[in-house]
Amino acid sequence: MISLSPNLPPERQRAMLQQMLTIRRFEERASDDYGAGKIHGVVHCYIGEEAVAVGVCTALTRTDRIISTHRGHGHCIAKGADLNRMMAELYGRQAGYCKGKGGSMHIADFDIGMLGANGIVAGGIPIVTGAGLAAQMEGKGGVAVSFFGDGASNAGPFHECLNIAATMKLPMIYVCENNLWAAQTSAAQTHAEIDVAGRAAGYGIPGVVVDGNDVFAVYQAANTAVARARAGEGPTLIECKTYRWRAHTERKGQPDPRDKAEVEAWLQRDPIALLERQLRQQGELDDAVLRAMESEIAGAIEAAVAFSEASPVPLPEQATDDVFAA
Amino acid sequence: MRELTYNQAALEAIAEEMRRDPKVFYMSTDALPSLWNEFGADRIKVMPIAESAITGMGIGAAGSGFRPIVDWRQVTFCFVAMDQIVNQAAKIHYMFGGQAKFPMLFRASVGGGGQVAAQHSQSPYSMFMNVAGLKMFLPSTPADMKGLIKTAIRDNNPVISFESGRLMGLKGPVPDGDYTIPLGVADVKRQGSDVTVVALAWLVHEALAAADTLAAEGISVEVIDPRSLVPLDSDTIRASVRKTGRLVVADEAGPTAGFSAEVATLVTEDPETFARLQAPVKRVCALQVPIPYSPVLENAVFPDRSRIIAGIREVLRGSRAVAA
Ligand SMILES: Cc1ncc(C[n+]2csc(CCOP(=O)(O)OP(=O)(O)O)c2C)c(N)n1
């Protein structure tokens, strides 16, 4: 069971399902193509956590700014990034978002307020807090959102920025995606207090725990936090309890010390299946609509792959482009 | 002799030192299974992703009589700990008048070639060489790795073990049991008479391959692996260049203010060596750019054996006669 649908029109609710499904299908394809050697380096999948990015971004407008982590595909898609240019970046092609310089771990789209996936744990938190400062100085009611993991919540920048944002009443939403693991280390080993949200009290700001697999609960918490931020009342820390279904990265033969029963239990709480069931119960979804949605997504992903394959690989001399801005 | 991988050699050295000295312990954000299984939670500290705190704690434990090993994993992750490394670890012995010793080993993988883009493909050892008070090495073989790590753990100073990501799976003969390799002693990996190639880590192997290729043409290449960056064995490098009269430096890092610049300078500022130089020094380095993801771009950035060969040909072509 998940929360009752929030005050959103049915088409918005279906759009949330569509985005969550898009993230999942995009990553399933990315994982396959990584296995086939078409995508290089390292790929971190967000599968199982889709409700967090979609729930939060549904509460935002296009001009609000977000920052992401090494596990960034979901945040990009939820903020409205173009699948073609995302896939082309994974393929390392000229038409990719970063012209093939970034890859899976570093997709950004500054036009839609997506300030980049970041390979350094907690590295994005100060940057997006600076975007929050910019929003405050612009005075147009914009907000900024930091997505980060439970692992990142133990790093200095998290604490420094929460204090600063609270003191300056910055329009910030800090979203901790607590998937219980940081690479091969469990949160239980590294957190004295299991709830990250409890740390908000130390900074005098609201800290809420939500079921991160319940997209409506995430949306509602985000909506409240966004309203508070837009009203000039300062930041909120939202902790979303969730789980990554796959190993830390897609690299073959990677150790995954997680207990099988733990993984199994979370697979039973698939955020997409939960939303699907909820929408069906509300009479807003049936098999035909779902089939149409799935086929539209499949078509978009095929098109993204075709777009990527058609885009030329970079030229060697382009390696020296963009070191400095003109 | 039995063979180990580069990575296994490091772990074997650490395990042997931990057995030998109960003051040695290990801090890391993920437990390495082999060490965890043998030494458990008393000696293997699984830490949060808080490299600045972990590094500083290493300093404090070292000053309190322990010999911590702080595993930063990739060198990339130690940049969040730069204050503890540069302002604290490097200076604490000197600044307090040598009152206490701070024996520490820091581990950091370096290098590119894995298509993991700019943040995860870095070779910044020259930045650290620039900081007085830190020792450091970068081995090219499993045997060197084991001997150098053992020396570093027994050293009474902070020592950084830079470990080439490209070589982690490289197998090579490793002597059984206890042996050490001193810091500050280069290894001549191949004797030659026409040109000296000073190379690091993976590029030692590329230079050896280049030397094989050129041997077929009658060109004799000497390959020197400094192994230790601080202290750096200038005597061995200068002696080789005095013999061959020509120098190529190969480094996976960019050239600017780097290891390669240091080697070029220690050769040219020595009057006796300078007098024997028959050609300008050639550097074969990465382009001075952040490392890009796409394989085509990444390959364009890094030097390899073919660029080393081109560099060697260039110094041979550009040679002048020098009085014996
Ligand atoms: C400063 C830093 N230290 C270590 C790493 C290596 N690393 C990459 S992801 C990761 C785990 C991150 O865990 P968490 O923040 O919970 O995010 P999750 O992967 O669970 O989404 C680690 C240790 C890093 N990228 N940056």
Q: What is the pLDDT along chain B (324 residues), one digit of tens a residue?
A: 899 999 999 999 999 999 999 999 999 999 999 999 999 999 999 999 999 999 999 999 999 999 999 999 999 999 999 999 999 999 999 999 999 999 999 999 999 999 999 999 999 999 999 999 999 999 999 999 999 999 999 999 999 999 999 999 999 999 998 999 999 999 999 999 999 999 999 999 999 999 999 999 999 999 999 999 999 999 999 999 999 999 999 999 999 999 999 999 999 999 999 999 999 999 999 999 999 999 999 999 999 999 999 999 999 998 888 865
Here the tokens at position A315 are 């030229």
CATH number of A10-312: 3.40.50.970
The domain limits of chain A are 10-312
Which residue type, as a one-letter code, is found at position A195? D
Domain end point (choices B142, B174, B206): B174
Ligand 1: which atom is nearest the Cα of residue A182?
Answer: 13
Touching check for A279 and chain B: CB below 8 Å? Answer: no
3-state helix, strand, coil in chain B (%, to 5): 45, 20, 35
E strand or H helix at B5, and its extent? Answer: strand B3-5
Nearest C-alpha neighbor of A149 from the set A219, A249, A225, A68: A68
Q: What is the pLDDT of residues A106-127, one digit of tens each?
A: 999 999 999 999 999 999 999 9
| Domains identified in chain B, total number | 2
Here the tokens at position B115 are 């298509």
Q: Same structural domain for residues B264 and B123?
A: no
Please answer yes or no on whether B80 and A98 come within 8 Å at the CB atom.
no
How many Å lie between the centroid of ligand 1 and the Cα of residue A152? Answer: 7
Nearest C-alpha neighbor of B123 from the set B202, B36, B42, B237: B202
Q: Provide, as residue numbers in chain B, all residues whose Cβ is less than 8 Å from the Cβ of A103.
A: 115-117, 293-294
Touching check for B291 and chain A: CB below 8 Å? Answer: no
How many Å lie between the centroid of ligand 1 and the Cα of residue B30? Answer: 10
Please answer yes or no on whether B80 and A92 come within 8 Å at the CB atom.
no
The DSSP annotation for A236-251 comes to EEEEEE---SS-SSS-
- % of chain A exceeding 70 in pLDDT: 100
**Residue B179 falls within a domain, yes or no?**
no
**Residue B323 falls within a domain, yes or no?**
no
Q: Same structural domain for residues B24 and B81?
A: yes
Mean pLDDT of A82-101: 98
Touching check for B29 and chain A: CB below 8 Å? Answer: yes
Domain end point (choices B126, B146, B174): B174
* pLDDT at residue B322 in the model: 82
Measured in whole angstroms, how far is the alpha carbon of residue A158 from the centre of its chain? 17
Closest approach of B36 to chain A, Cα-based (Å): 13
Q: What is the pLDDT of residues A196-205, one digit of tens each?
A: 999 999 999 9
Ligand 1: which residue has its CA nearest to atom 13?
A182
* pLDDT at residue A1 in the model: 73
Q: Same structural domain for residues B233 and B296?
A: yes
Please answer yes or no on whether B301 and A319 come within 8 Å at the CB atom.
yes
Q: Same structural domain for residues B141 and B237?
A: no
**Residue B137 falls within a domain, yes or no?**
yes
Ligand 1: which residue has its CA nearest to atom 17?
A149
How many Å lie between the centroid of ligand 1 and the Cα of residue A182? Answer: 6
Residue position matching structure tokens 């690091």: B200
Pairing mode, strands A185-186 and A181-182 = antiparallel
Domain end point (choices B140, B174, B208): B174
**Across the interface, which of B30, B120, B299 has its CB nearest the CB of A183?**
B30
Residue position matching structure tokens 């000197």: B94
**Across the interface, which of A106, A119, A154 has its CB nearest the CB of B50?**
A154
Please answer yes or no on whether B116 and A92 come within 8 Å at the CB atom.
no
Which parts of A130-235 are beta strand (E)?
A: 144-149, 172-178, 181-182, 185-186, 207-211
**Residue B181 falls within a domain, yes or no?**
no
Residue B315 DSSP symbol: H
**What's the CATH code of the domain at B43?**
3.40.50.970
- Is the peptide bond between A206 and the residue preceding it cis, with omega within 30 degrees of 0? no
Please answer yes or no on whether B294 and A119 come within 8 Å at the CB atom.
no
* pLDDT at residue A179 in the model: 98
Pairing mode, strands A172-178 and A144-149 = parallel
CA-based Rg of chain A, rounded to a whole angstrom?
19
Distance between first and last Cα of chain A: 53
Q: Same structural domain for residues B142 and B264?
A: no
CA A222 vs CA A162, A173, B19, B159: distances in Å: 17, 8, 52, 47
Ligand 1: which atom is nearest the Cα of residue A121?
Answer: 26
Residues lining ligand 1, Cβ inside 6 A: A 69-71, 119-121, 149-152, 177, 179, 181-183; B 29, 49, 51, 77, 80
**What's the CATH code of the domain at B202?**
3.40.50.920
* Contact in structure between A121 and A154 (CB atoms under 8 Å): no
Across all residues in chain A, what is the average pLDDT?
97
HSE-CB of A105 using CA atoms within 13 angstroms: 25
Please answer yes or no on whether A101 and B294 come within 8 Å at the CB atom.
yes
Q: Note down the domain range covering B192.
A: 187-317
Touching check for B236 and chain A: CB below 8 Å? Answer: no
Closest approach of B66 to chain A, Cα-based (Å): 23
Touching check for B302 and chain A: CB below 8 Å? Answer: no
Residue B113 DSSP symbol: -
- Asked whether residue A150 carries a pLDDT value surpassing 70, the answer given is yes
Please answer yes or no on whether A155 and B49 come within 8 Å at the CB atom.
yes
Ligand 1: which atom is nearest the Cα of residue A178?
Answer: 16
Query: Which of A43, A120, A121, A249 for a ligand 1 pocket mutation test, highest count of atoms within 8 Å of Cβ?
Result: A121
CA A106 vs CA A64, A135, A312, B122: distances in Å: 19, 23, 20, 16
What is the value of ipTM here, to two decimals? 0.95
Q: Provide, as residue numbers in chain A, all residues whose Cβ is less than 8 Å from the Cβ of B287.
A: 319-320
Residue position matching structure tokens 């975007």: A131
- Asked whether residue A298 carries a pLDDT value surpassing 70, the answer given is yes
Q: Same structural domain for residues B167 and B193?
A: no
Cβ contacts below 8 Å, chain A against chain B, sum to 123
**Across the interface, which of A190, A319, A323 has its CB nearest the CB of B48?**
A190
Comparing B222 with A5, the larger pLDDT belongs to B222
Touching check for A271 and chain B: CB below 8 Å? Answer: no
Q: Same structural domain for residues B264 and B305?
A: yes
Measured in whole angstroms, how far is the alpha carbon of residue B96 from the centre of its chain? 29
Please answer yes or no on whether B289 and A152 come within 8 Å at the CB atom.
no
Q: Same structural domain for residues B111 and B223?
A: no
Closest approach of A216 to chain B, Cα-based (Å): 31
Residue position matching structure tokens 């990142």: A152
* pLDDT at residue B324 in the model: 59
* pLDDT at residue A4 in the model: 77
Nearest C-alpha neighbor of B78 from the set B36, B41, B131: B131
Closest approach of B300 to chain A, Cα-based (Å): 5
Its pTM stands at: 0.97
Q: Same structural domain for residues B137 and B207?
A: no
**Residue B180 falls within a domain, yes or no?**
no
Q: Same structural domain for residues B95 and B202?
A: no
Q: Same structural domain for residues B164 and B262?
A: no
Please answer yes or no on whether A316 and B80 come within 8 Å at the CB atom.
no
Residue of A nearest to B28 (CA): A185
Closest approach of A18 to chain B, Cα-based (Å): 30
Q: Which residues of B are catalytic?
A: 51, 120
Q: Same structural domain for residues B192 and B158?
A: no
